Amino acid sequence: MREICIGEKTIRVRATPLALLYYRQEFKSDLIGDMVKMQGVAADLTQFDSIAILQMIWAMAKADSHGQQFPGFEGWLASLENINLSDSSFLVAALEEATDGFLGRTKGKS
C-alpha cells in the first residue's frame, strides 16, 4: 500500500488481485497488459496516456477501499480538483506500487 498525492488529495493505492478485477470490470481491459504498453513511454513521450495511468490508480484505490462505498471512474475523476502531470512523483509511486504488487518486484531487485 502506498499513499500518493494528486493535487491536494491524498489517495491510498493497493496493488491486489481485486484491483485487477475492478480494472477489468470498469475498463474491459487487462491492467497488466496496459502496464506493459506503458513501458515505452520513457523512450517516446508521445506514447504517454494520462487516462490509462489514472485508470490504474483508480482501480488500486478502489481495491484499497474494498468493502466501502467507492465512486465509479468518472465520479472519482470529478473529485480530483486538479492534477499536475508534470509532477512525476504520483506517477512513479503508482507505477512502483503496481510493479511491486502485480509483478512481485521489490526495491533492490530487478
pLDDT confidence of residue 106: 55
82: helix, coil or strand?
A: coil
Comparison of pLDDT for 9 and 107, the residue scoring more: 9
Q: What is the pLDDT of residues 31-74, one digit of tens each?
A: 999 988 887 776 777 778 889 999 999 999 999 999 999 999 99
> How large is the average pLDDT for residues 17-28?
98
Considering the entire predicted model, what is its pTM? 0.89
